[in-house]
Amino acid sequence: MQSPPASSILDRLHGGSIYPRRVERLSAALAPAFASRAHVLDVGSGDGHIASLIARLRPDIDIQGIDVLARPQSAIPVQLFDGTTIPFADKSFDSVMFVDVLHHTDDPSVLLREARRVARGTVVIKDHLREGFAADSTLRLMDWVGNARHGVRLPYNYWSRSEWTAAWMREGLAVESMRESLDLYPWPLSSAFDRSLHFVAVLSVR
């Protein structure tokens, strides 16, 4: 009997155990980031599962999504957009959220600037830090396993801590809080794929 290809094994592992844990842990980490009764825009919402679970944890808030790709099914309402211009007026939302989206762009500053324009209060970001041993290659592997089969664009544009900090300062975003221990992967995968590679930042609009 022919063995299944490595990509198929990785897909099953990611979909069967890693993805559900990631959704649960990220939703729990992100849910407290929003003000009471906040109106939230999820930019790059994907299948909407994280936003949907956040809304269940925080029934007082309202979340809608935009994305460049239409998924066959989405857990929240999603509007298509061009990937650079957020199709809403200035100060339309209390918060704008990016969950592992900005490293898929050629220049994250473009969407950061748009988020600052559209948000009245905060910009909430889950993304990666290119820090530590073999960080770039590890992040590339995670990105490919999680996104390649969905047709997601993969420019592998990961920033260091200093690059994130400089971009936030340029765009007038001040750090309210930053969490780097998210426990997204079960042991022993956590030793390779958690480390200091992930963060959730809550940024206030100046």
Query: Is 63 domain-assigned?
Result: yes
Of the ranges 40-44, 156-160, 190-194, which one carries the lowest mean pLDDT score?
Answer: 190-194
Query: Domain limits at 119?
Result: 6-205
Residue at 1 is within a domain: no
Residue 108 lies in a domain: yes
pLDDT single digits (tens) 21-60: 999 999 999 999 999 999 999 999 999 999 999 999 999 9
- The answer to whether residue 205 scores a pLDDT higher than 90 is yes
Residue 128 in any domain: the answer is: yes
Name the domain count of the chain: 1
Q: Mean of the pLDDT values across residues 114-141?
A: 96
Residue 124 placed within a domain: yes
Q: Residue 47: give its domain's CATH number.
A: 3.40.50.150
Which amino acid is it at 149? R
> What is the average per-residue pLDDT within 90-112?
97
What pLDDT sits at residue 102?
98
Domain assignment present for 145: yes
Give me the residues paired with residue 80 across strands: 67
- The pLDDT, as a whole number, for residue 12 is 53
pLDDT band at 11 (very low <50, low <70, confident <90, very high): low
Could you tell me if residue 131 is inside a domain?
Answer: yes
In a domain, 47, yes or no: yes
